[in-house]
Amino acid sequence: MQEEMQSKRPQEALRASELRYRRLFETAQDGILILNAHTGHITDVNPFMVNLLGYSYDEFIGRPLWEIGPFKDIKECKLAFLELQEKEYIRYESLPLETKDGRSIAVEFVSNVYGLSGGTRVIQCNIRDITKRKQVEDARHRTDEEARRFFEANPAGSYVASPDGRLITCNSAFARMLGFASVEEAMKVDLVSLYPDRASREVFLRLLRKRGRLEHNEAELRRKDGSLVHAVENAAAAFDERGELAEIHGCLMDASEWKQTNQLRQAHEKKPLFHLKTFLSKAGPGRTIVFVPGKQILFEQGKRGNAVFYILAGAVKLTVDAQGKESTIALLGPGTFAGKECIASPRPRSTASARALTNCTILRIERKEMLHVIQHEKTFAAFFLDYLLARISRYQEVIMDQLLNSSEKRLARALLSLANFGNGGKAEAVVPKIHQEELAGIVGTTRARISFFMNRFRKLGFVAYKGQSSITIRTAKLSGFVMA
């Protein structure tokens, strides 16, 4: 009797192990396919995979992987199977697939070969849906390309450099201003060598480290041929996590040319001087101040764009729609632009949709007026380029948030974005109250979690409610929590 019980124990342990594996297989939140390692025929598929691609269990079982609908058009599929038999491991970071109902999705595809008891060898394919992440990355890439076009087209000499004088990038106007034949030639020059007086360079760096931003800073610079140019520079500092100066973003303008141009304009056209704050806060030629009630759509993805929107008050949400699935890519508050892509091409179409989250006051700038002011007002061109560069950094932070940070920190960053923190925002900002359902969609979590986090932020002194319609965001405290 004792011998019989001992013989049953390994069998019971094996059954328990198989049961545990089956439970994991059935409840996994990634798609899993099991293939015969010799023939490539599918022997098992989990429910998540069935739901992801829309094919039934029976449509998978018993067929080679390369005959299943989503994999039919992937020419390398059979070759990859042969490679997998040899190497026993293969991975695709991003593989485009099409579901049975015609939707396009992107997946991460990892396959391993391993042996079972009795000498049977199988292939396990793990398939993870990364469509949302790809949409965010694609939106960032479009923004990067857009910023690069504006950077190159800027009539001011724009550059990015390290504190020791190494040029990271510059545009054609920068090269021409300093007498270089091309951007490539200018990139070989040490920026420090362009200063006749090294001490003035040190003063510039000291002020930039202290203030974080310099406007209309005058400097004498040496051209390639040795002649001097009197330049006016706007510069912004980028600091690393230790608070050290990491990069300098600057725009140079030839002061003598600027003075001559303005004197001619005043003499012949009697045109008033351009004031950036006035342009962005008041109606005028090609500019209208409009009131937009909450939930109203400003523009829709795929439709023609004919204006840029500058937010004076309120909050706007940017979303992209891929095969009926809406994803939030940005939350815009006062001091930000929406619809910038309308000035990127002659027949522009919006790459995203914009909707007011709260009642908003917005400056609507006609496309023609926006192009005119970029081309003819260097002050605005430099300001707009600085803004685009800052938005690129913000999109990169959003992607890192999605990949690495918790829902709580993503909510904190969304609130800081709403308060315009890091772009001239105040230590305490009073903003319109946004429904928790909207915040849940922006952060990518549930309303219950948003409610829990907001109550916790209130107790910690990060936020304070002012009646039913507004909320105070204490940006200094909240940013300290994000950086912790």
Among candidates 205, 209, 181, which has minimal Cα distance to 191? 205
* pLDDT confidence of residue 369: 93
* pLDDT confidence of residue 151: 76
CATH (one of 3.40.50.10440, 3.40.50.10470, 1.10.10.10, 3.30.450.20) for 21-129: 3.30.450.20
* pLDDT confidence of residue 423: 46
Among candidates 191, 154, 187, which has minimal Cα distance to 173? 154
Q: What residue type is assigned to position 302 of the chain?
A: G
The Cβ of residue 421 has, within 10 Å, a number of other Cβ atoms equal to 21
pLDDT by residue for the chain (484 residues), tens digit each?
555 555 556 666 657 667 787 888 888 889 998 988 888 888 999 999 899 888 899 988 988 877 776 666 555 566 667 777 777 788 888 888 888 888 888 888 888 888 776 677 888 889 899 888 888 888 777 777 777 777 777 788 889 999 998 999 999 889 998 899 999 999 998 888 888 888 888 888 898 888 888 888 888 888 888 888 888 888 888 888 888 899 999 888 887 665 566 666 665 555 567 888 999 999 999 999 999 998 899 998 888 888 999 999 888 888 888 667 777 777 888 888 998 888 876 677 788 889 998 899 999 999 999 999 988 888 898 888 888 887 776 666 666 655 556 778 878 877 877 776 444 445 677 777 777 777 777 777 888 888 888 888 888 888 888 766 778 888 778 877 777 6
The Cβ of residue 427 has, within 10 Å, a number of other Cβ atoms equal to 12
Angle at 133 between CA 128 and CA 134, to 5 degrees: 95
CATH (one of 3.90.550.10, 1.10.3720.10, 3.40.640.10, 3.30.450.20) for 145-269: 3.30.450.20
Cβ(106)–Cβ(99) below 8 Å: no
Cβ(219)–Cβ(200) below 8 Å: yes
Encoded tokens for 427: 């230590």
* pLDDT confidence of residue 80: 66
Tell me which CATH homologous superfamily contains domain 276-376: Jelly Rolls (2.60.120.10)
The segment(s) of the chain belonging to CATH 3.30.450.20 are 21-129, 145-269
CATH (one of 1.10.10.60, 1.10.3720.10, 3.90.1150.10, 1.10.10.10) for 405-484: 1.10.10.10
Among candidates 254, 240, 248, which has minimal Cα distance to 207? 248
User: Taking the model in full, what pTM does it have?
Assistant: 0.45
* pLDDT confidence of residue 216: 83
Angle at 337 between CA 333 and CA 340, to 5 degrees: 150
* pLDDT confidence of residue 286: 92
222 exposed, middle or buried (CB, 10 Å; 0-12, 13-18, 19+)? middle
